Structure 1
Amino acid sequence: MKKKWLKAAGLCLAVSLIFGGCASSGNTAENADKVEAHVITDEGGNQVELPEKITKVAITPIPWASAVWTIDGGSDRIVSINPSAMAQYKKSFMTKLAPEFADISTGEISQDFSINIEELMKLSPEVAFIWNDQEAEAEKLKAVGITPVMLNYAENLENLKKDLTLVGRVLNKEDFTQELIDYHNDTETYFINKKDQVAAADQKSVLYLQNKKLSVAGSKNINNYLLELTGGRNVAAGLEKKWAEVNMEQIMEWNPEIIYLSNFDDTMPEDLYENKIEGQDWSNIDAVKNHRVYKTPVGTLRWDAPCVETPLMLKWMGSIQQPEIFSDYDIRSDIKDFYKKFFNHDLAEEEIDTIYNVKANQ
């Protein structure tokens, strides 16, 4: 009996050692994966070790306040944003989607993106999203225990998707972000697949006007690509800049057939139709004579800037520039679906009118 008992005990011990060893090995691998998952490469090329738990974030880049809100499904973790981002929020449809966003602090970040480190420390964020040229700010943040994550200004759609992916990883919202990126990819692919039809079509000449100072979108502006993709010809494509100031004489020489007015200032189509801007005469421009001046949409952010709603901007521009080629989608139906899927909001018809500036564009 004693020998049987000792034999059984030995067997149990051996089994426990085998499975215990396996469990120990498994835990080690699991922990290694966990640590690796918290190391990312940001858009400054830096290897960034993220905190194990992220409960608070600060955001210096203006467009990324609304993007972080979208990806994270709310503003609970956002403690500080750029005051310019707050100013944009107050003019956007996002005020209806997220009234609580108005309570986020703006006193720690300046409009020039500099950070008051002492004030930001009082809010105790674990992570701060910054631009990829803010090396000095990054060092200051690291010195006080705040992890900087650099984002890149999205000069093209690929950069935009990289930034979205990065934010999703930081916030542990990768599945949602991938769905958003899939929508971006599907929309861009749709327009790329129509490029032969677009090339054969009458491509309207288009001016993308940023403000009353006659700053226009040049070849290095993301809107140049959006215009071309959706069947327009940017009259300022010969200017190798993001935005370039021109004079009225140059615009008269270009004589665009379509004019888009950005939301970087409050210029409206009627200002051009009625020649309200002092020192400028728009009366002989084809776009004005033919009533083809459009104020661009504003959703959770102005659509002029690269943002989560850029696919909707593509669809809106396509419907204006090449309605016959891009007749197989309905922008009103698509924006409803998008807002339901990514913002969990059922858009009413009048809300769509507000986002699309329908009244101003009549």
Structure 2
Amino acid sequence: MKQKTNVFMIVFWLVLLISNPVVFGQETGKKNVNLRIVTDLAGRQVKIAGPVNKIVTTFKPATLCVLSLGLEKKLVGIDTSSGRDRLGMAVFPGIKKVKGIGSKSMGINFETLVSLEPDLVILYSQKDGRKLANRLKILNIPSIVILPETFDTIKHSLELIARAVGGTDQTISVGRHMDEIISLVQDRLSDLPDKERKTGYFASPRGLFSTATGNMLQHEIFTTAGIYNVSCDLKGYFQDISPEQLIKWNPDIMVLSRHMKKGAAKQLSNKGLSRLTAVSHHKVYRCPSDLAPWDFPSPLSVLASLWLAKKVYPDRFLDIDLKDKVNGYYKALFNKTMDQMGGNLDDKIWMIKSDDKI
């Protein structure tokens, strides 16, 4: 009886192989393929057949994710600003020669993108990202939408990219190192009394009176660092506020986005704003680093929570050498330390009426 069962199973698999070869990664009359169906963070099912050798990224977080996964040599097109990032040039000197295809803020040059004949395009979910995905689908160009607005969705975005390209062991490593930094900060602050918890305000790249809402990554950076985000009740993307609202909130600390123009910080010297607790106590910081911004969605953003927690609650991190932690993290993700890349935290700002750094 057992012998008959074995014979039946052999016949069954032979029939299945002949009648449905795509199950085994082959199609009759075509070269071998590896069909993958992934669900992106916009809920779209995307079919990817064959190897992914040419990738196009359309915004900086996507480029940073690709670099952290060790896929930089597959890049044939990038958002224009990523070509100027010092981290990208340090990790992959050839990035300067990768074709720029525009940006999320100024618009994507669709014709240029298509001309690169990519195997995979990584898109943003805001603005025209999903419309671009639909246009690419018509041309049979696979694209995935990522939404890296929390630490968890950053990890999910990394996993999605890895599945789309056919897998990479680096995904597990990056996720583990992110979790280690988050756990370190949370453990040190686990018994922080509410009465000792500081309030904070994040000023976006748009200017001093534009801030992160409770839906954004910067909010999670603050909360992980044990800081109450004064703008947490706002919803959506960056929101504009009035100077009067900032004065009313009167935060204990302020963090200015890495990409905020220097001129915007000069407004802190206005008579009304100079009385803010954060300003008068010299607790205004610029988010690191000078290689690539930690306040942008990427695996680097967990470092912003460690940096900020150590700034605000130094007694709880006395034994932590921030530069050592950062160097180790960069080494794990990019195979080079921050020092080897020539990078610095560069987290000070200048006041308009003083040559001294705050």
Q: TM-score, normalised by structure 1?
A: 0.79
Q: Deviations over 1:295-339 (max 9, x none)?
A: 100265311122111221121011012122234532111111112
Asked if the contact 1:213/1:245 (under 8 Å) is kept, the reply is no
Asked if the contact 2:221/2:301 (under 8 Å) is kept, the reply is no
Distance 2:325 2:24 in 1: 39
Residues 103/258 of structure 1: CA separation in 2 closer, same or farther (3 Å cut): same
Q: Deviations over 1:163-210 (max 9, x none)?
A: 111011122343101110111223223333445412356112211112
Structure 2 equivalent of residue 118 of structure 1: 111
For 1:79, which of 76, 80, 89 is the aligned residue? 76
Report matched runs for 1:25-104 at 5 Å. 32=23, 34=25, 38-74=36-72, 76-83=73-80, 85-86=81-82, 89-104=83-98
Structure 1 equivalent of residue 273 of structure 2: 282
Asked if the contact 2:87/2:341 (under 8 Å) is kept, the reply is no
Alpha-carbon deviation of 1:345? 0.9
- What are structure 1's unaligned runs of at least 5 residues? 1-16
Residues 111/157 of structure 1: CA separation in 2 closer, same or farther (3 Å cut): closer
Q: TM-score, normalised by structure 2?
A: 0.80
Structure 2 equivalent of residue 186 of structure 1: 180
Structure 1 equivalent of residue 30 of structure 2: none
Larger Rg: 1
* SS across alignment from 1:220: coil
Structure 2 equivalent of residue 303 of structure 1: 294
Structure 2 equivalent of residue 151 of structure 1: 146
Alpha-carbon deviation of 1:31? 6.7
* SS across alignment from 2:76: strand
Report matched runs for 1:194-209 at 5 Å. 194-200=188-194, 202-209=196-203
Distance 1:299 1:51 in 2: 39
Residues 132/94 of structure 1: CA separation in 2 closer, same or farther (3 Å cut): closer
Q: Deviations over 1:38-97 (max 9, x none)?
A: 2211122222221311111112233211221221342x22111222x33xx525443333
For 1:264, which of 241, 253, 259 is the aligned residue? 259
Asked if the contact 2:286/2:349 (under 8 Å) is kept, the reply is no
Asked if the contact 1:262/1:296 (under 8 Å) is kept, the reply is yes
Distance 1:249 1:77 in 2: 49
- What are structure 2's unaligned runs of at least 5 residues? 1-6, 26-32, 351-356
Residues 285/117 of structure 1: CA separation in 2 closer, same or farther (3 Å cut): closer
Alpha-carbon deviation of 1:105? 1.1
Residues 132/245 of structure 1: CA separation in 2 closer, same or farther (3 Å cut): closer
Distance 1:171 1:224 in 2: 31
RMSD value, Cα: 3.4
